[in-house]
Amino acid sequence: MLNIVAAALAASVIVIPPGGAPGTTPPLDHITIEVVTVNGSGCPAGTAAVAVSPDNKAFTVTYSDFMAVVGGNADPTAWRKNCQLNLKVNVPSGFTYGIAQADYRGFGHLEPGATGMERANYYFQGMSPTAYKVHNYAGPFSDDWQATDTTELAAIVYHPCGEKRNFNINTELRVSLGTSDPKTTSFMSMDSTDTTIQTTYHFAWKTCP
C-alpha cells in the first residue's frame, strides 16, 4: 500500500473565465493571504499552507496529510477526511474577487465493491455557502481521478466590495467498503509523490464601483 500511496498525485485548479469576461485582469499590486484557522482530519496542524502566485492570478493550498482509507489495517475513523480552511484575503483597494471553476485531481485505489467520493464547497464569511459539488467513484479502480466543478459566469459569487469577510474552503474525501473484501485496502488521496498536494484557486477579478 505504501508504494501506491507514494505514487498518489492530486491538484485542484479553479480557472478564470476566458478573455473579455469579468475577472480577467488581476490588480497590479500584490495580494496577501493569511491562514486564520485550519480544521479537519485531512489537514492536521502544520500540514496545510497557502501561497499567492506572483501574478495575482491564483493562490495555492498545499496539504501533506489528506487521504481517506478503509479496510485492511486502516483506522476505523479514517474512511472520511475533511479540511476546513478560513482565509483572510487582503486585496488592493478597488478590486474584488470570485471563483469560477474547480478542477480536482487525485489518485484512488478502490477494490471491487468499494466506493469513493470527493466533494467541496466554498463561501465568504456571513454569506451562504455554495452547494457541495459531489463526485463519486466505484471499484475496481486504481488510477488518477479528476473532477470539475463549474460556476456559470453570471452566478459567480464575489466578495462584497468594501467589506472584510474571510474566505472559507471545505474539502472532503470519503471511502466506503461496500461489498469489497474487508481485508483489502481502498483509499482516495490528495497526496503527491513528495507527500504534498497543491490545490490552486485561480481568482476571477473585477473592479468595485
| Confidence (pLDDT) at 185 | 97
Residues 114/70, Cβ–Cβ less than 8 Å: yes
H or E segment and range at residue 3: helix 2-6
pLDDT reported for residue 9: 28
What separation, in Å, do the N-terminal and C-terminal C-alpha atoms of the chain show? Answer: 54
Q: Other CB atoms closer than 10 Å to residue 122's CB: what's the count?
A: 20
Measured CA to CA in angstroms, residue 85 lies from 45, 63, 64, 66, 73 at distances of: 11, 11, 14, 13, 29
| Cβ 131 vs Cβ 121: under 8 Å | yes
* pLDDT at residue 11 in the model: 33
Phi, psi of 205 (to 5 degrees): -95, 155
Q: Mean pLDDT per segment of 10 residues, for the chain of length 209 residues?
A: 33 33 64 86 86 78 87 95 89 79 81 96 82 92 84 72 86 96 93 47 78
**pLDDT at residue number 52:** 80
Predicted TM-score (pTM) of the model is 0.75
Mean pLDDT, the chain, rounded, equals 78
Separation between Cα atoms, residue 58 and residue 15, nearest integer Å: 9
Lookup: cell for 36: 486564520
Omega before residue 26 within 30° of 0, cis: no
Output the DSSP codes for 36-97.
EEEESTTS-TTSEEEEE-TTSSEEEEEES--EEEESTT--TTTTEEEEEEEEEEE--TTEEE
At 136, is the secondary structure helix, strand, or coil? strand
Mapping DSSP to helix (H, G, I), strand (E, B) and coil, where does residue 158 land? strand
The string of pLDDT tens digits covering residues 127-174 is: 877 778 899 999 999 998 887 777 666 667 778 888 888 988 888 999
